[in-house]
Amino acid sequence: MNTEERINSLESRVRRQRFGMAFMGLGMVALLALGMNQQAPKKMILEELTILTSEGKPGVVVGTNEEMDGRTGQITIFTAEGKPGIMIGTNEKDGGYGLGVMDSNMKARVILGVGAKDDPGMGVLDSNESPKIMMGSDKNGSGIMLIGASIMELPAPPAATDKK
């Protein structure tokens, strides 16, 4: 093979490579256009969704209540220490649903819920999860219970004055 044949062969090879690179570029543009044309999903079906904090710890978990039967929903919001702080869920056993605010020892301290017969209630619990203040309502009426406490009447604060 002489020098002229070698140069012609090299030129044709470079030409083919240019065509190949041009077609690869066009293919990439076409794929990019197809990707941008996709609609964002409107519906997601998950068993659990965990939102992590900047440290990689769970911040919010949306899923099913595994302690019951795994068939009812639950949302848990975690504290900075990684402990459950607020839990919202449903109870498959009695059909009720509610919200609990936990202390640093993961004991429910404030509860709010609606029972199986749509009877609302709320309560304040001590560190042993024993009720101290309970409020509720049902078809027979409403009530407030103070357990181991007394009622103290506080004077109304003075009316605010206009400052001009």
DSSP per residue, the chain: --HHHHHHHHHHHHHHHHHHHHHHHHHHHHHHHHHHTSPPPS----S-EEEE-TTSSEEEEEEE-TTTTS-SEEEEEE-TTSSEEEEEEE-TTT--EEEEEE-TTS-EEEEEEE-TTS-EEEEEE-TTS-EEEEEEEETTEEEEEESS----PPPPPPPPPP--
Instruction: Write down the pLDDT at residue 164.
Output: 61
Report yes or no: 97 and 114 within 8 Å, Cβ to Cβ: yes
Lowest-confidence region among 21-30, 57-66, 153-162: 153-162
Instruction: Write down the pLDDT at residue 40.
Output: 74
Instruction: Write down the pLDDT at residue 69.
Output: 59
- Higher-pLDDT residue of 21, 65: 21
% of the chain surpassing 70 pLDDT: 95
